[in-house]
Amino acid sequence: MTQTFNVGAPSRFVTVTAWVCIVLGAATTGWAGLQHAAAASLAVPAPVAPPLVTGWLLAYLPWVVGAGLVLSLATLGAAVGLLLRQEWARRVLIGLLGLAIVANLLGLWIQHEVVQALVSHTLDGAPLPAQAAGVFGGFVTAARLMGAAVTLGACGLLAWVIGRLMSPAVRREFA
């Protein structure tokens, strides 16, 4: 007769994390497919040359969208494996969450560049009084700070999930 060793009971944290990643992975896979179609429609050359960074971002947009599609499919697969308590899935998901933290932090720089390009272009071409331009600039600064706070909060949440997935109690479930 074979013996079965039950190392640890399935925790709610791992189950909820797996289902959240499954839902988000499926949603981002669909969204990445739509973005890939939209990026293909942007292939028409613009009549005016965009700024340097914006031009670079548009030139590599199909590759970025394709990488997002691959990462969302990998997240979906790792989340299903996590739900089945596979050790490889736990390790892959930890790596993907770490990559998401790096991508979010790089996204802060891209966000700054895009907003700066749009605001400077808009303020240069708009006939606004100096006071109105100052108010507009204040709203932009507040929006940038809020975006940075939300991004850093999301990075903190992802780091917490990584820490929980690496804890001894969760690792016992995957032994």
| Global model pTM greater than 0.85 | no
6-48 tens-digit pLDDT: 555 688 999 999 999 999 999 998 888 888 777 666 655 655 5
Residue 4 lies in a domain: no
- Confidence label for 144 from pLDDT (cuts 50, 70 and 90): confident
56-107 tens-digit pLDDT: 777 777 787 888 889 999 999 999 999 999 999 999 999 999 999 999 998 8
> Cβ(165)–Cβ(88) under 8 Å?
no
> Cβ(36)–Cβ(65) under 8 Å?
yes
Task: State which residues form the domain around 47.
Answer: 12-173
Residue with tokens 């979906």: 76
Residue 1 lies in a domain: no
User: Three-state DSSP class for 70?
Assistant: helix
Number of domains in the chain: 1
